[in-house]
């Protein structure tokens, strides 16, 4: 139980385009989902906290107009990178939890999305 999926796993796009990443909790409901960015050999950098039915809470330094987050249901949150530039290239990971139906109170991570902006 407590599986989180993320789609797509890998995306390459041209500079200036927008990219949407989906994060789904498959077998539990998560009122809260988190979006992280991870650079090679570095820690998870929290970008924003996404709460179902309300606006996301962004961490300091993260542009809310550039990284649009929508949490429309208890099992789905999306991150849209708008007008992507090469410096946005990174590994984006979502996590979900705590939630109902999960076996513990921890966070469960998606497999990540490798974004490359040319």
Residues 6 or more apart from 43 whose CB is under 8 A from it?
Answer: none
How many residues sit in the footprint of other proteins (CB under 8 A)? 22
Q: Which is nearer to other proteins, 46 or 82 (CB)?
A: 46
Between 57 and 82, CB nearer to other proteins: 57
Q: Is 13 in the site for other proteins (CB under 8 A)?
A: no
Q: Is 68 in a helix, a strand, or coil?
A: strand
Angle at 72 between CA 99 and CA 96, to 5 degrees: 30
Contacting other proteins within 52-111 (CB under 8 A): 93, 95, 97-98, 104-111
């Amino acid at each position: 139980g407590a599986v989180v999926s993320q789609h797509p796993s890998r995306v390459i796009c041209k500079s200036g385009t927008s990219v949407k990443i989906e994060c789904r909790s498959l077998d539990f409901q998560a009122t809260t989902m988190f979006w992280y960015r991870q650079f090679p050999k570095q820690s998870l950098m929290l970008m924003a906290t996404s709460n179902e039915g309300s606006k996301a809470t962004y961490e300091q330094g993260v542009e809310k107009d550039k990284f649009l987050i929508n949490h429309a249901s208890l099992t789905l949150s999306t991150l849209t990178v708008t007008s992507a530039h090469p410096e946005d290239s990174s590994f984006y990971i979502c996590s979900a939890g705590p939630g109902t139906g999960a076996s513990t109170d921890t966070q469960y991570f998606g497999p990540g999305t490798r974004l490359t902006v040319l």
